Amino acid sequence: MNTNTPIAVYGATGHTGRFVVAELRRRGLPAILSGRSATRLTQLATQHEQVTVRPADVSDPAALDRALDGAAAVINTAGPFALTAGPVADAALRAGIPYLDVAAEIEANAATFARHQNATTPVIPAMAFYGGLGDLLITAAMGDWTEADEAHIAYGLSSWHPTPGTRLAGQVSHERRAGRRVRFTGGTLEYHDDPLTQQDWHFPEPLGRRPVMAEFTMADVVTVPSHLAIPEVRTYMSVEAARDLATGDTPAPTPVDDLGRSGQQFVVDARVRKNGAERRATASGQDIYAITAPLVVEAAQRTLTGRTRATGVASAGAIFDAPDFLRALGL
């Protein structure tokens, strides 16, 4: 990888986009800052060295092409991804460079896999806390298993103060589903009207036994089955976080440290089951939006240096060595 070749960040001025730009610069990588607002991009550029501002709207393919000219790869952090993933990924493929995004939207991720199934350039959707991290953990837990009966991913969040982007993406997804919920069962995505139910989950200490909302479905139901033969994939959310998200006036995240992270703590507990046996992998840390930055930037660096195990469109667990990737980030 030529460290003088910039990586483009589309949606650079958003909450997650700012973390991604900071992570690129922390690693000494130059960046192209792109998105709709030239004013906001220019303001962000004053906070960093070795960055270039190139505004572009997703409705303007020529502007996107200019924004990605000379870039090594593009990281899309601009939701709703139902609106941005297609145009930005198409621009990346026209430029012949890898595309990565941090989409948590189930339908948007499914569409990216379907749209780019014949791609030869790397396309890596959901390379984020939701979708990417769970997929890496399940893949690591699988070990030498080539198939399993069930995969379960429980999110133990101390709280969830959603960004405006998260709320908007959730609204778009809700409208696309006509208010219905989704699960992955019997090897396929299924829409339903069943109510959420609550159960207890035994997280690793010190979190311990906590109530969770069962079948609180996240993007892992797209990423995990994209490469692993597991017909049942279920995700769970801590009750505290689910209530925060459901409350319309829960404020956006507030920084508590010099890195701009919120005080939110998380534990992700991934389990796979086969013939009565269970394997488990877990990760913990601070701030689900902040942790997305090292996840997607590490993925971009590995892709650009050839440390991949697949081509074309692929999830994190399919394209990377999952245990090594998790160790590299201390997860």
Q: Look up residue 274 and give its two tokens.
A: 């086969």
Q: Distance between CA 97 and CA 314 in Å, rounded? A: 15
Q: For the whole model, what pTM was predicted?
A: 0.97
C-alpha 175: how far from its chain's center? Answer: 21
Q: Distance between CA 301 and CA 194 in Å, rounded? A: 42
For residue 242, what pLDDT is reported? 95
Mean pLDDT to the nearest integer, 288-310: 98
Averaged pLDDT of the chain: 96
pLDDT band at 1 (very low <50, low <70, confident <90, very high): low
Q: What is the CATH number of domain 7-129+291-328?
A: 3.40.50.720
Give the residues across from 28 on adjacent strands: none
Domains in the chain: boundaries? 7-129+291-328, 130-290
Beta strands in 48-134 (DSSP E): 51-53, 73-76, 99-101, 123-124
Mean pLDDT to the nearest integer, 64-88: 97
For residue 272, what pLDDT is reported? 98
For residue 176, what pLDDT is reported? 87
Q: Could you read off the pLDDT of 148-198 as tens digits, one per residue?
A: 999 999 999 999 999 999 999 999 898 888 889 999 999 999 999 999 999
For residue 207, what pLDDT is reported? 85
Q: Distance between CA 5 and CA 71 in Å, rounded? A: 6
Q: Could you read off the pLDDT of 121-141 as tens digits, one per residue?
A: 999 999 999 999 999 999 999
For residue 205, what pLDDT is reported? 83
Question: To the nearest whole percent, how much of the chain has pLDDT over 90?
Answer: 94
Mean pLDDT to the nearest integer, 280-309: 98
Residue 158 backbone zone (phi > 0: left; psi -120 to 50: alpha; other: beta): alpha
For residue 256, what pLDDT is reported? 98
Residues 24, 77: contact at Cβ < 8 Å?
Answer: no
Q: 108: Cβ–Cβ under 8 A, 6 or more apart, which residues?
A: 80, 81, 82, 85, 125, 173
Give the dihedral of Cα atoms 56, 110, 320, 154; nearest 10 deg.
110
Q: Could you read off the pLDDT of 78-95 as tens digits, one per residue?
A: 999 999 999 999 999 999
Mean pLDDT to the nearest integer, 7-33: 98
Measured at the CA of 325, the angle between CA 322 and CA 328, to 5 degrees, comes to: 150
Q: What is the CATH number of domain 130-290?
A: 3.30.360.10
Q: Could you read off the pLDDT of 109-121 as tens digits, one per residue?
A: 999 999 999 999 9
